[in-house]
Amino acid sequence: MLDGTTAEVVERKALRINAAKTCQPIGAMYAALGIHSCMPHSHGSQGCCSYHRSHLTRHFKEPVMATTSSFTEGASVFGGMANLTQSLKNIFSIYNPEVVAVHTTCLSEVIGDDIPTIVRKSKEEGSIPDGKVVIHANTPSFVGSHVYGFANMVSGMVNYLAEKTGTTLNQVNVIPGYVEPADMREIKRLAAAMGVNIVMFPDTSNVLDGPLTGQYKMYPEGGATVAQIKSSGDSIATLALGHFASHVPAATLESKCNVPAAFMELPIGVGPTDRFVDALRSYGGVEVPASVDLERGRLVDLMSDLSQYFHGKRVAVSGDPDQVIALTQLLLELEMKPVYCITGSPGNQFEKRMHELLDGPVPDAKIKQNADLFELHQWMKQAPVDLLITNTYGKYIARVENVPFVRFGFPILDRAAHRFFPTVGYAGAINLINQMLNAILDKKDRECAEEWFELVQ
């Protein structure tokens, strides 16, 4: 498919080829699914909602429910107030969610629909029953990326739901960032192992990785409840994991309810996980238990045992900015060389932080925000790498360049079980290391001379 990609790079300002991101509403819809008994609602055309649902469904291999305002030409000209008002009435009468989370699309943003006013009017007219909640986030597709949409919807949760009663509760908020259900489950497991009470929102564990029971539930058992999100205003502190996905919601909660925010990176690898565990220990007023120390020890032992396979290997990484920043630290801990690191999302913090990490150990690394996979492929043609780590769209590059490939991030459309295996925490790093080593050794077995086809590696 990409055999025609050239090694010569021509600077492009108005064109993206194989963009390394998708649009804001997908992130907003994913975040909304992390609220218990919530119906995500797309304020725009049917096509937008269908695309966003199908993309999430293909990644998680689970049915993703969402509703739409079903814009037609009339709504495009006269505004979507009538559509949204009627939609809310239908949603509550037919599907009966506890929460409707409205996110905008390109069309509703361009015509300038005032969502808070429409929601307030719907409440006054009785389209929203007593005891039910409607929240919203502005998520124009023509700016930002799915990560920004996620952050905007989580900020909407804070703006509409978080409350401060004046009584500090013995709990710590965790905003997990744009990660898999398994990652959210792993964060909760680590906190429970340490004896720290947390309120995590959003929380898609048991929503998009739930069991097959033989009975369909539109609203699975998982997700952060409205009561939990409301109580976040009385928590001891908020741990915001990831600058792009979590820092703005945490800052919003700090401003609204005076809950101190600790801004951290995703806990991928030893160092970032150490910092997350230490923050839980500090705010929770607990000691790190021996069980967590053992997990860390097993990870460090594995890294030591396998150093011969990873040392000096050149790696290309692409994905969401928070994930690339954290993953790069794991690669450095393995003494690998992340020589190409890109994200499709805009935001100068990515390049700033990546230069802090790489200017010393990998001074010739190429780092770029708002980039695309076409340019990454061109770099790889100029100077090959030993490993490519990115989402499913990287498979075409890996095939053409015959480079070991690890699927990581969003979306992963051609594999099924990724949502069950964490990449955060000490256990998640073990999972990632296993995938990387298998990819590298599989290529060696396929191509080595007969005398080097070894039974024991």
**Which CATH number characterizes residue 373's domain?**
3.40.50.1980
Other Cβ atoms less than 10 A from the Cβ of 296: the count is 17
C-alpha span between 447 and 165 (Å, rounded): 65
Query: Could you list the residue range(s) of the whole structural domain that residue 244 is in?
Result: 172-289
Same domain, 408 and 337: yes
Question: Stretch 276-302: mean pLDDT, rounded?
Answer: 97
406 burial type by CB count under 10 A (0-12 exposed, 13-18 middle, 19+ buried): buried
Mean pLDDT value of segment 145-160: 97
Interatomic CA distance for residues 294 and 430, integer angstroms: 13
Domain shared by 284 and 333, yes or no: no
Q: What is the pLDDT of residues 6-51, one digit of tens each?
A: 888 888 888 888 899 999 999 999 999 999 999 999 999 999 999 9
Residues 324 and 266 in one domain: no
Catalytic residue list? 106, 110
The answer to whether 143 and 110 have CB atoms below 8 angstroms apart is no
Residues 423 and 303 in one domain: yes
| pLDDT of residue 96 exceeding 70 | yes
Question: Please, which residues bridge with residue 40 across strands?
Answer: 101
Mean pLDDT taken over the chain: 95
Name the β-bridge partners of 19. Answer: 372
* Average pLDDT over every residue of 167-179: 97
Same domain, 252 and 317: no
In a domain, 110, yes or no: yes
Q: Under a CB-based contact definition with an 8 Å cutoff, are residues 366 and 341 in contact? A: yes
List pLDDT tens digits, range 108-128. Answer: 998 899 999 999 999 999 999
Question: Are residue 379 and residue 259 in the same domain, yes or no?
Answer: no
**Exposed, middle or buried: residue 394 (CB in 10 Å: 0-12, 13-18, 19+)?**
buried
- Starting at the earlier edge strand, list the strands of the sheet with 172-175: 198-200, 172-175, 237-241, 261-264
CA 152 to chain centre: 13
Q: How many independent structural domains does the chain possess?
A: 3
Could you tell me if residue 14 is inside a domain? no
Q: Which of 244, 193, 229 minimizes the C-alpha distance to 369?
A: 244
Where does the pLDDT of residue 349 fall: very low under 50, low under 70, confident under 90, or very high at 90 and above? very high
Distance, in Å, from the CA atom of 277 to the CA atom of 279, rounded to the nearest integer, reads 5
User: Does 267 share its domain with 416?
Assistant: no
Residues 399 and 345 in one domain: yes
pLDDT tops 80 at residue 4:
no
Last residue of a domain, one of 237, 254, 289: 289
Q: How far is CA 226 from CA 32, 39, 204, in A?
A: 12, 13, 14
